[in-house]
Amino acid sequence: MKSLLRTIQLLFFKASFLNAEINHIRALNANGRVMGDPDKFRPEAKQRIAKKRKGLLISFLVIAGLVLAGFTAAVTINFFCPLSVMAVLGLRLASIIVIAWAVLGRIGYETASFKGETLLEITSAKAFKQFYGLGVFLATLGLFLNVPIV
């Protein structure tokens, strides 16, 4: 629950989140984990928070665009060339596979070496976004396709 509240704080109350971040570093320092001077970290934390918030906004817009594209494609297919039950089920299965593949490939077998700067790491991050985006599109498409009643 606390994690959810922190996420809400990050999204909607950035000054409050920044203060919580500084207090978190103070608490870590008090527990023996030396994280440096929290007040000197404040400008960097402010930049990191702004970058994360921008990334979340961009992610939301990309996903909303993919959902809209999937919905539009489904309406078009339903109108011009309805698919069979098996084709719709196959599409839904494909969307699950693509999303699971993207997630597992990213968090299950990730290769890290030099702060995300090697070609392998850059390609891995981009492949995750591409596969995940494709999976969201396919899932939305499959969700809104009409299944013929036999």
The mean pLDDT value for 4-31 works out to 90
Question: Would you say 72 and 33 are in contact if contact means Cβ atoms under 8 Å apart?
Answer: no
Between CA 148 and CA 85 the distance in angstroms is: 6
Average pLDDT over residues 50-55: 93
73-127 pLDDT, tens digit each: 999 999 999 999 999 999 999 999 999 988 888 776 666 666 666 676 777 778 8
